[in-house]
Amino acid sequence: MIHRVSIPTPFRVGDVNAYLIEDDPLTLVDVGPGSARSLVALEAGLAALGRSVEELERIVITHQHADHLGLVDIVADRSGAAVCALDELVPILEDWSGYAERNDRFAQRLLRRHGLPEVVVITLGAVTRGYRAWGAGAAVSEVLRDGGELAFAGRSFTAYHRPGHSPTDTIFFDERGGDLIAGDHLLRQISSNPLVSLSPTGDPEDERPHALATYMASMRATRELPAGTVFPGHGDPFTDHAALIDERFAMHERRAQKFAALIASAPRTAHEIAVETWGQTALTQALLTISEVLGHVDLLIERGDVIETDHDGVVRFTTT
């Protein structure tokens, strides 16, 4: 049996879902952000199911974002549970602060290169550093690999690496029962945003990944799974994941064409495209909107419709 435990977050996405799998070992998938309010909600949710933090035997983390892993140190310490994660996620869990600092530097460099004013970059850097407190790390005692087994006494899930929303996204599929624990890989209420992030062992000077193209490849692979019920990281469980994925592909194509039209009218930086599309949000949610623009422009570049040019260290996009 899979039980949802809803946990509040300080982020715009709203509550995050943790999932209690009542089997042997008693397992919690994701834990919520690192705050007293979130811990109280987790404790209350488990208590409503007749369980407690101390009874947990295994903690599984789906990906690297703070709203999913922030309580991992506290929950692991109180329960003595084994912490289980994909091999790609291990370097982040075992050096949360170090990775967060490198990723912040990577993000600031990315924002500068794509046209954000320096004062905004500095301000956002201070805000982002504050977010680190919502996350935490822990020693990983069970390392999963892509295609590996997450075993229980009464059932088994296959772990699949599905990067895109983050470099470390992992889904868990019960091939016999059809249940799919998706983390943030698939969300129905909102589209899962492919964030441009530093790789788990990367350097802040690394070239940026093509997050949307990676995410679309991951969705194609997930579409082929004969999934029944999908248990997402946010929002209610749902069915018919293939139809949702088709909707997401259509949405991304519409957005790519919108950006193509803007670039055709005049060369633009990613930040200029973001401002024209989202207004003030392009400043307050700069990494999100820049990631969104870059992902779709990458598709246009791959098709040969757009090229990237460098002007004194700032990238502009123009039609071919």
- Cβ(50)–Cβ(26) below 8 Å: no
Relative to beta strand 82-86, strand 2-7 is unpaired
**Residue 302 scores a pLDDT above 90:** yes
**For the chain, where are the E strands, in sequence order?**
2-7, 16-21, 27-29, 58-60, 82-86, 142-144, 149-151, 156-161, 170-173, 180-183, 230-232, 306-311, 314-319
What percentage of residues in the chain have a pLDDT greater than 90? 91
**Residue 280 pLDDT level (bands cut at 50, 70, 90):** confident
Comparing 194-203, 276-285, 290-299, the range with the smallest average pLDDT is 276-285
Grade residue 301 by pLDDT with cuts at 50, 70 and 90. very high
Q: Which residue has the higher pLDDT, 110 or 123?
A: 110
Mean pLDDT of the chain: 96
- Residue 74's pLDDT band, with cuts at 50, 70 and 90, is very high
pLDDT at residue 282 tops 90 = no
**In the chain, what percentage of residues exceed pLDDT 70?**
100
**Environment class of residue 278 by beta-carbon count within 10 Å: exposed (0-12), middle (13-18) or buried (19+)?**
middle
Return the DSSP state at 140: -
pLDDT, average across residues 31-52: 98
Provide CB contacts within 8 A for 242, sequence distance 6+: 223
Over residues 226-239, the mean pLDDT reads 98
Closest CA relative to residue 168, chosen from 287, 87, 225: 87
Q: Are strands 156-161 and 16-21 parallel, antiparallel or unpaired?
A: unpaired
Predicted local distance difference test score (pLDDT) of residue 125: 83
CA distance 107 to 204: 8
CA-wise closest residue to 289 among 66, 131, 146, 124? 124
- Per DSSP, the three-state class of 181 is strand
Domains and CATH numbers, the chain: 2-95+132-246 (3.60.15.10), 259-319 (1.10.10)
* Torsional sign, CA 159, 237, 28, 132: positive
Tell me the per-residue pLDDT of 165-198, one tens digit each, with 9 for 90 and over.
999 999 999 999 999 999 999 999 999 999 999 9
CA atoms of 287 and 110, how far apart (whole Å): 9
Compute the average pLDDT of residues 300-305. 97
Give the per-residue pLDDT at 128.
81
- Whether residue 9 contacts residue 15, with contact meaning beta carbons closer than 8 Å, is answered with yes
Whether 169 and 225 have beta carbons less than 8 Å apart is answered as no
Contacts of 271 (CB under 8 A, 6+ apart): 111, 114, 115, 116, 282, 286, 290
Average pLDDT over residues 69-89: 98
Distance CA 144, CA 148 (A): 6
Average pLDDT over residues 275-284: 90
Question: CA-to-CA distance for 276 and 191, rounded, in angstroms?
Answer: 20
- Quick one: pLDDT band at residue 159, thresholds 50, 70, 90? very high
Longest dimension (CA), the chain: 62
Over residues 112-151, the pLDDT tens digits come to 999 999 988 998 888 888 888 899 999 999 999 999 999 9
Helices (H) and strands (E) in the chain, counts: 11, 13
Q: How does residue 295 score in pLDDT terms, banded at 50, 70 and 90?
A: very high
Would you tell me the crossing angle of helices 286-303 and 211-223 to the nearest 10 degrees? 80
- Report residue 111 as tokens: 């924002």
Q: Rounded to the nearest 5 degrees, what angle is found at the Cα of 77, between the Cα atoms of 71 and 83? A: 70
Q: At residue 261, does pLDDT exceed 90?
A: yes
Confidence of residue 50 (pLDDT cuts 50, 70, 90): very high
What residue type is 258 in one-letter code? Answer: K
Instruction: Give 54's Cβ-side CA count (13 Å radius).
Output: 0
pLDDT band at 52; cut points 50, 70, 90: very high
